[in-house]
Amino acid sequence: MSPVPTIAGLLAEAALPDSPSARLDAEWLLAYALGKSTSYLRTWPEREVAPEVAERYRAWLARRRQGEPVAYILGRQGFWSLELEVAPHTLIPRPDTELLVETALALLPAESLDVLDLGTGTGAIALALASERPAWRLTGVDRVEEAVALAERNRARLGLGNVRFHRSHWFSALEGQRFALIVANPPYVAADDPHLAQGDLRFEPLSALIAGPDGLDDLRHIVAGAPAHLRAGGWLLLEHGYDQAAAVRELLGAAGFEAVQSRADLAGHLRISLGRMGPEHAG
């Protein structure tokens, strides 16, 4: 008879040579399989684990060894103060994008106003803003129907009534609508970027990553279309690649945006750029 596995024994099986966070990955997978916190694992390493739970964990571990992101395996990812459902047809929300949320919250008052999240994916940005600003009216759009449905499931589970999601390829279904704030984390990876063949990016949808030969195609489209959908004095906030800040600021300036600037993430990389729409350029 095989010995009953323990928490410590199962974690010891987690040889993940391609993962810089092998132990943490294994802890997340086992904790989720057990329905416990990772601190529980460290407190009770000698606890026995039911065979069916151990089997589920080992199956997940095998998928992780093939490089599949933990978020896709579990179908969940934390973002801001929220836990979100994720799926392979959307990008996995990342901590870097929380800078976009922080900046938006600091820019505008908590009073009633309209905000647009372009390419919403899981709904992460819109839902984080909606959770912090109950008076704001959030609209999230995505061209992928499955992403819209996923974002709506996240909204319903979180019980946020001040946000709605619908299908639109950038501004295509938003004719005549104006916003005080537009935020976007669009595709911004160049088509020949070697990182596309590495790590988690291998499993994420290319349509949500690649934006032409220089990675700026979607950013150009958003900057060009935003003036027709911003109120005078409204802001456009864009996440972009670590080396694209100067190019995005140039795009914003050429489109008539004022107070153009970039903000750095915790690693010191300029990850977002923003500008305010002057009255003579607003739609």
Same structural domain, 221 and 109: yes
Same structural domain, 251 and 133: yes
What average pLDDT does this structure show over 222-231? 96
Last residue of a domain, one of 67, 96, 113: 67
Query: Using CA atoms, how far apart are residues 86 and 77, in angstroms rounded to an integer?
Result: 7
Residue with tokens 């500008």: 275
Query: Is residue 82 one of the residues assigned to a domain?
Result: no
Same structural domain, 38 and 107: no
> Of 26 and 116, which is predicted with more confidence?
116
In this structure, what token pair is assigned to residue 40?
Answer: 């529980």
Question: Is there a contact between 71 and 92 (Cβ–Cβ < 8 Å)?
Answer: yes
Same structural domain, 152 and 191: yes
Cα→Cα distances 117→156, 185, 274, Å: 17, 8, 14
In this structure, what token pair is assigned to residue 237?
Answer: 């906030």
Cα→Cα distances 223→15, 74, 181, 191, 236, Å: 45, 35, 13, 20, 8
Same structural domain, 16 and 135: no
Whether 106 has a pLDDT exceeding 80, the answer reads: yes
What pLDDT score does 38 carry? Answer: 87
Predicted confidence (pLDDT) per residue in 17-63, tens digit: 555 577 888 898 999 999 998 889 999 999 999 999 999 999 999 89
pLDDT band at 208 (very low <50, low <70, confident <90, very high): low
Same structural domain, 92 and 220: yes
The residues near 280 (Cβ < 8 Å, ≥ 6 apart) are 256
What pLDDT score does 193 carry? Answer: 56
What average pLDDT does this structure show over 197-215? 62
Query: Is residue 113 one of the residues assigned to a domain?
Result: yes
Give the structural domain span for 195. Answer: 88-277
Query: Using CA atoms, how far apart are residues 267 and 254, in angstroms rounded to an integer?
Result: 29
> CA nearest 212: which of 186, 185, 188?
188
What average pLDDT does this structure show over 254-263? 96
Query: Is residue 2 one of the residues assigned to a domain?
Result: no
Q: What is the CATH number of the domain that holds 188?
A: 3.40.50.150
Same structural domain, 42 and 94: no
Query: Is residue 223 one of the residues assigned to a domain?
Result: yes
pLDDT band at 200 (very low <50, low <70, confident <90, very high): low
Same structural domain, 115 and 193: yes
Query: Is residue 48 one of the residues assigned to a domain?
Result: yes
Distance in Å from the first CA to the final CA of the chain: 74
Question: Is there a contact between 222 and 185 (Cβ–Cβ < 8 Å)?
Answer: no
Same structural domain, 157 and 189: yes
pLDDT band at 260 (very low <50, low <70, confident <90, very high): very high
Query: Is residue 35 one of the residues assigned to a domain?
Result: yes
Same structural domain, 157 and 30: no
Same structural domain, 54 and 141: no
Q: Look up the pTM and report it.
A: 0.86
Count of domains forming the chain: 2
The pLDDT > 70 percentage for the chain reads: 87
